[in-house]
Structure 1
Amino acid sequence: METNDIENKEKKIAVVGIGGVGGYLAGMLARTYPHVTLVARGDRKTSIEEKGIVLHSEKDGEIVVHPERVVASAEELVQQDYIFICVKNYSLEEVCAQLQGAVTEETVIIPVMNGADTAERTRRYLGKGTVVDALIYIVAYANADYSITQEGDFADLRIGIMNPQETELRKVNQVSALLTNAGVDHKASDDIEREIWRKYILNCAYNVASAYYDNNIGELRSDPEKAQEYEQLVQEAYQVAVAKKVHVLPEHVDAIIHRFYYELADGATSSLQRDIRAGKRAETDTFSGYIVTEAERLGIEVPVSRRMYEGLRAKTL
């Protein structure tokens, strides 16, 4: 066993938010590391305490594992070495307030969430520790019995820090070693901002159009007018990224549009669409409001994004 493996076995790791993404990471991490604590409430907490994390993964197989602890609030956490935050964006500020007692200057915080400014906000809310930017490509969701399903042959993280200092780069490498030992596919990126925006631009179309029309991908691309609007949403988000000096390229946009027409499953739906349909609080401002606000600040016209944002807000009032 390498030195990093031995050291990591003694590290305290917390996962906050045990939905699809958090549940997948919790299952993989708790399978490998003995000191994993999960933050979960109510019946979900009870289920994990009684049955463990039950992960049905097409990629990694059937995993049932019991974490060391399950707590109802992040306020109950002792000081941690690594904290993975996997909550909805609207809960981030509250969670960071609850995490104050668990975070030291040596703690590494990895928010694996939707949105373009998640790590930036986490740094601002916490004011200590090292925040590593992250995103994940995964299809995963929590089931009614609190088990987690991961579909497909991919669950792929990207991690990094923009223009890292030497100490920050060391922290990124530590997270990479932690994930490698746990069997989590990932890559440490030297331009994590570009990676985040590549996914974010996709979601500014995928989540927004599917939720606005309550259509799956097959329904969207079979309607020429809706398909054109999908492309326009991609282009509007791209223009905002360029204005912000993010290093996204036209070929990245081409790949996103190609994926819409030729790669996404006909029946694919989005998390925003499912939340709005179920009457749940939704990440409308994460996928739609942020682009509209930033476009206005930068003097960019985004008519389709604006119209759909207003329509989505009306749905969720």
Structure 2
Amino acid sequence: MKYLIIGAGGTGGCIGGYLADRGKDVTLVARGEHLKAIKENGLVVHSTRRDNIHLKNVKAFSSAEVVDKFDVIFVCVKGYSLHDTIPTIIKASHEKTLVIPILNTLRAGEKLEKALPGITVLDGCIYISAYISAPGEITQGIKIFRVVFGPRENSKVDRALLQKIQEDLIESGIDGVLSDDISRDIFKKFTFTSACASTGAYFDIMAGKMQKEGKYRETFVSLLQELQKIANGLCIQLDCDLIEESLNILAGLALDTTASMQKDMKAGTKSEKEELIFDVVDIAEKYGIDVPNYYKIAKYFGYDRT
């Protein structure tokens, strides 16, 4: 299996790094100083699950330099950059290529499927805390590293290929999960990411403040309750107590953890507020669901669909 990882940041760098370190055929797509450092010195992953990884000869290119065809393409970019990956996916795909978006959004698979007729698009999500700590270096924050993926509704995919991807992930030290209901699993992951990032950004706080009883934690829980209402409205059958599971994940974060959306907003760069906050309000309005806390936060960050 030939893997292409589009986006070699915290998510893609860890997926690609772990796979390549176990001898899988991996090519990374990166940019800027990060790409330059990887080409010159290799990729370093400071891992919390195993010994640190230093791949001295990993294959890394800019999107313009990609010329090969790949069996599996992991798309690991921010939501606002999803459209920019389409030309690379098209030229890197053959008739049996599987594309797996790993983004903090509910609609990545849907958007790619519409833009890539004739290419099989799956859906996926990830549980990880990782970031670019220096050009050519990725640092993991917690031991959780789980990639969940599966076919979109009504799509036909060779199950043997899906199982091969799962096996490669597991052999590489990643908890690879082949989902029997990927829409459910993406929504479940999205709820934590959205509620945590929204609360953190609105109050400008780190995870440690949300872990304690008080208004920050109460806001986090209220957003989860609104997302539960949306799940009910969309007839998504969750297989867990959404609030309990999200609080358990929150409890496992380092005290100084902040979501990437929050970091981007403080830096004044593009952020995923459209995908993580505004889309929730749009979906709620479409289905007549009351989400006052999400609406308040969305308005604070400039939400306006008029």
Q: What is the TM-score when the length of structure 1 is the normalising length? A: 0.88
Tell me the residue number matched to 2:50: 60
Question: In structure 2, how many angstroms separate the alpha carbons of the residues matched to 1:188 and 1:45?
Answer: 31
Which one has a larger percent helix, Structure 1 or Structure 2? Answer: 1
What amino acid is the match of 2:275? T
Give the conservation status (yes or no) of the 8 Å contact 2:167–2:176. no
The alpha-carbon deviation at position 182 of structure 1 amounts to 2.6
Give the conservation status (yes or no) of the 8 Å contact 1:132–1:161. yes
Give the conservation status (yes or no) of the 8 Å contact 1:211–1:312. no
Select 1:78's aligned residue among 59, 63, 68: 68
Tell me the residue number matched to 1:6: none
Give the conservation status (yes or no) of the 8 Å contact 2:121–2:152. no
Question: In structure 2, how many angstroms separate the alpha carbons of the residues matched to 1:238 and 1:124?
Answer: 27
Question: In structure 1, how many angstroms separate the alpha carbons of the residues matched to 2:107 and 2:96?
Answer: 22
What amino acid is the match of 1:69? K
Question: In structure 2, how many angstroms separate the alpha carbons of the residues matched to 1:53 and 1:164?
Answer: 38
Give the conservation status (yes or no) of the 8 Å contact 1:54–1:147. yes
Tell me the residue number matched to 1:5: none
Give the conservation status (yes or no) of the 8 Å contact 1:14–1:39. yes
Give the conservation status (yes or no) of the 8 Å contact 2:130–2:138. yes
Partner SS state of residue 280, structure 1 = coil
Tell me, yes or no, if structure 1 residue 155 matches structure 2 residue 145: yes
What amino acid is the match of 1:205? A
Tell me, yes or no, if structure 1 residue 268 matches structure 2 residue 252: no
Partner SS state of residue 132, structure 1 = strand
In structure 2, the CA distance between the partners of 1:294 and 1:166, relative to structure 1 (3 Å rule), is: closer
Tell me, yes or no, if structure 1 residue 211 matches structure 2 residue 182: no
In structure 2, the CA distance between the partners of 1:44 and 1:34, relative to structure 1 (3 Å rule), is: same
In structure 2, the CA distance between the partners of 1:75 and 1:286, relative to structure 1 (3 Å rule), is: farther
Partner SS state of residue 18, structure 2 = helix
Partner SS state of residue 20, structure 2 = helix
Give the conservation status (yes or no) of the 8 Å contact 2:141–2:254. no
Partner SS state of residue 142, structure 2 = strand
Question: In structure 2, how many angstroms separate the alpha carbons of the residues matched to 1:293 and 1:75?
Answer: 38
The CA RMSD over aligned residues, in Å, is 2.1
Give the conservation status (yes or no) of the 8 Å contact 1:26–1:53. no
Tell me the residue number matched to 1:95: 85
Tell me, yes or no, if structure 1 residue 190 matches structure 2 residue 180: yes
Tell me, yes or no, if structure 1 residue 295 matches structure 2 residue 284: yes
1:1-317 matches, within 5 Å, as 11-33=1-23, 35-67=25-57, 69-73=59-63, 76-163=66-153, 167-222=157-212, 224-248=214-238, 251-257=241-247, 259-260=249-250, 262-313=251-302
Post-superposition CA distance 1:83-128 (Å, at most 9, x none): 1111001111111133211112200111111111111212112223
Partner SS state of residue 177, structure 2 = strand
- % identical aligned pairs: 30
Q: Which runs of 5+ in 1 are unaligned?
A: 1-10
The alpha-carbon deviation at position 62 of structure 1 amounts to 1.1
Partner SS state of residue 277, structure 1 = helix
The alpha-carbon deviation at position 217 of structure 1 amounts to 2.3
In structure 2, the CA distance between the partners of 1:109 and 1:75, relative to structure 1 (3 Å rule), is: farther
Question: In structure 2, how many angstroms separate the alpha carbons of the residues matched to 1:311 and 1:85?
Answer: 30
Question: In structure 1, how many angstroms separate the alpha carbons of the residues matched to 2:249 and 2:171?
Answer: 31
Question: In structure 2, how many angstroms separate the alpha carbons of the residues matched to 1:52 and 1:69?
Answer: 9
Tell me the residue number matched to 1:8: none
The alpha-carbon deviation at position 48 of structure 1 amounts to 0.6
Question: In structure 2, how many angstroms separate the alpha carbons of the residues matched to 1:249 and 1:174?
Answer: 26
Question: In structure 2, how many angstroms separate the alpha carbons of the residues matched to 1:175 and 1:164?
Answer: 20
The alpha-carbon deviation at position 34 of structure 1 amounts to 5.7
In structure 2, the CA distance between the partners of 1:187 and 1:72, relative to structure 1 (3 Å rule), is: same
Partner SS state of residue 143, structure 1 = strand
More displaced 10-residue stretch of structure 1: 203-212 or 247-256 = 247-256
Q: What is the TM-score when the length of structure 2 is the normalising length? A: 0.91
What amino acid is the match of 2:114? R
In structure 2, the CA distance between the partners of 1:182 and 1:263, relative to structure 1 (3 Å rule), is: closer
In structure 2, the CA distance between the partners of 1:63 and 1:244, relative to structure 1 (3 Å rule), is: same
What amino acid is the match of 2:63? S
